[in-house]
Chain A
Amino acid sequence: MRNNPSSRLNYRESMANYLPGRCYIMNITKDSGQISIDFLVGFTIFIIGFIFVITMMSGLLVGLQSKTIDYDAVAYRTGVILVEDPGQVQKDTPENKWEFLDPAYKDDIIRLGLAISPDFPNILTRAKVDRFFDSDYFSYPDDYRRMLIFGGAGTYPYNFNISLDYGTSPPLSIGDSVPDGQSYGYIKRAVFIKEPPGEAVFTCPGNPERIDININFPDLYDTEREPIYNIDPLNEEIRIRILTDPNVELTDVSLLKSDADGIYISVPGLNLPPVETSGGPAPPYPITVIEDPLNPGMGYVKIIFPQRYFSPFSDKSSKFLLSFSFDTANYPPNQYNYDYSTDFQPSPTLTPAILEVCIW
């Protein structure tokens, strides 16, 4: 009866049923559409309280992202990628080792990793270590975030600090140091670094007319030594020093490559790296190799083949002949072999190092 729309129409009729002078108890419903003050006050107090509470609670969830909870997991993953993974480049890049890639192709690197190969984790190569920490090639922090930290879709900007300590002071490092009072994720890995070979010193007294050095790649890529104990002329720097009698005259230096029949022929278009002698730099020939003040009684001739010098025109089965020709002809030519015989250079060793990763 309360909500009956016809109640108003029937007002007169229904009112006719009530006798005047009697007290009747009736439901008085207001259909007027105005809210009572009581309700307004109560509701206002409720809403004010609600806004107050929401303001207090909103700070609870704001700082909460899944990416900021677990810095240790990101640090662990980064450590594993650096130490146990050799890195990867896109398939059709001109060079499949990221540490020798031209800076213009930087975007083709999928992932950075310092290990020598997946079969030898915890052993890093010097070339990768140098390139990784070189700020001329990789820009901090974007390149590292893209290729190493992997903050996820949209790349959450983790801050990081990666440092490698192998005895230098200060250790190599990338990134800012951790701010004070900041909680951060941390991992420490112990690794070896495979160093390039040391300088090979050949002592050649007696002033021969030519000194020949055989560089046989098949001897150097000895399968017993595995990739971690060998000299890698295709990818590592080769340094050769010859000690001669003082005051001989060096007239020419040449590099010849053995062809299929074993005849040594010159490589077309090849530029030798600069030669240094105790009498000065050598490309203007002839030059007198005077006595070295640091090593009385002998002079020296030094040549350094930089990293990747041999790779454009050779492979693991190539053989080379490096010849130094001198002017005076006292003795016939001397031959030496650049290989692992220990009388001219120390065998390659592994350097222990510590890698630390901090993420915040």
Chain B
Amino acid sequence: MAKLNEDGQWIVLMAFIISITMLVLALIVNQSTLVGTTTAEAVLEFPKSDIKDLRNEILRINEVYADSGGINPNFFNDQMRAIALDRKSALVQYSINIVNPSGMIEIHFNNGVTEYNEKYY
């Protein structure tokens, strides 16, 4: 024989290909369970309760102001902005229309990942 007969090597190569395919499939199965974890991370990351809480607080400030007058409700804007920036790493700003009591309230919230803007009448 002048050279090695390599006719049958395609069988072993097919076996290799199938083994590698099986490895890839097993990897997919293994990684699939991480999908559940990522969903929970996404839920934790979205500031749903932060935004709802902020909105609730601003409406409460507006309600108390509308009833008893006195202190300008936009006065709390500085307080809330400072606290939110320090503790929640979020930029918070609102403005209440005090000239017209049933006028518009604007709310802005931005925590770097999620941004929320609202105009409330």
* A–B contact (CB under 8 angstroms): yes
Interface residue ranges, A against B (CB under 8 Å): 39, 42-43, 46, 49-50, 53, 57, 60-61, 64, 66, 69-70, 72-73, 76, 121
Binds A, one of B25-33, B72-80, B87-95, B104-112: B25-33
A contact patch SS? helix
Contact B14 A73 (CB under 8 A): no
Contact indicator per residue, chain B 1-24, by CB within 8 Å of chain A (1) or not (0): 000000010010011001000100
- Contact: A72 with B8, CB < 8 Å? no
- Contacts known (A42-B11, A43-B11, A46-B14); A69 close to B29, Cβ less than 8 A: no
> In the complex, A39→B52 CA distance in Å?
73
B35 at the interface (CB under 8 A from A): yes
* 23 A–B contacts, CB within 8 A, in A order: A39-B8, A42-B11, A43-B11, A46-B14, A46-B15, A50-B18, A57-B22, A57-B25, A60-B26, A60-B29, A61-B25, A64-B29, A64-B32, A66-B35, A69-B35, A69-B36, A70-B35, A70-B36, A72-B36, A73-B39, A73-B40, A73-B43, A121-B52
Complex Cα distance A64/B15, Å? 25
**Judging by beta carbons under 8 Å apart, are A60 and B18 in contact?**
no
Q: List B contacts of A43 (CB < 8 A).
A: 11
Neighbouring B residues of A49 by C-beta, 8 Å: 15
Expressed in whole angstroms, the Cα–Cα distance for A72 and B8 within the complex equals: 52
From residue B36, how far is it (CB to closest CB) to chain A in Å?
A: 4
Contacts of A121 in B (CB 8 A): 52
* Residues of chain A within 8 A of B26, CB atoms compared: 60
Contact yes or no, A42 B22, CB < 8 A? no
| B-side interface residues, number (CB < 8 Å) | 17
Nearest B-chain residue to A50, judged by Cβ:
B18
Cross-chain contact A72 with B40 (CB below 8 angstroms) = yes
User: Across the interface, which residues of B come within 8 angstroms of A72, CB to CB?
Assistant: 36, 39-40
Residue of B8, B35, B43 touching A76 (CB-CB under 8 A): B43
Query: In the assembled complex, which residues on chain A have CB atoms less than 8 Å from the CB atom of B15?
Result: 46, 49
A64 / chain B contacts, CB cutoff of 8 Å: 29, 32
Q: Which residues of B contact A66 (CB under 8 A)?
A: 35
- How far, in angstroms, from A43 to B14 measured CA to CA in the complex? 11
Cα A345 to Cα B11 with chains together (Å)? 89
Cα separation A43 to B22 with both chains bound (whole Å): 20
**Which residues of chain A have C-beta atoms less than 8 A from B36's C-beta?**
69-70, 72-73
Please name the 3 residue pairs, one residue from A and one from B, whose CB atoms are nearest each other, closest first: A73-B39, A70-B36, A69-B35
User: Which B residues lie within 8 Å of A60 (CB)?
Assistant: 25-26, 29
Contact partners of A69 in chain B: CB under 8 A: 32-33, 35-36
Given A53-B18, A70-B39, 11 extra CB contacts under 8 A: A46-B11, A46-B14, A50-B18, A60-B26, A61-B25, A61-B29, A64-B29, A69-B32, A69-B35, A69-B36, A72-B40
Nearest to B14 among chain A residues (CB) is A46
Which partner residue on chain A sits nearest B42 by CB separation? A73
Q: How far is the CA of A46 from the CA of B16 in the complex (A)?
A: 12
Q: A99 CB to closest chain B CB, in angstroms?
A: 24
Task: Looking at the assembled complex, report how far the CB atom of B11 sits from the nearest CB atom of chain A, in whole angstroms.
Answer: 5
CB distance from B101 to the nearest CB of A (A): 13
Bound complex: CA A61 to CA B29 (Å) = 7
A70 to B32 alpha-carbon distance, docked (Å): 10
Complexed CA–CA distance, A344 and B32 (Å): 62
A133 CB → nearest B CB, Å: 26
- List chain A residues, Cβ under 8 A from B18: 50, 53
- Tell me the bound Cα distance from A53 to B16 in angstroms: 13
Residues of B within 8 A of A39 (CB): 8
| Distance (whole angstroms) from the CB of A146 to the closest CB of chain B | 23
Chain A nearest CB from B93 CB (Å) reads 21
CA distance A104 to B98 in the complex (A): 49
> What separation, in Å, do the CA atoms of A115 and B97 have in the docked complex?
29
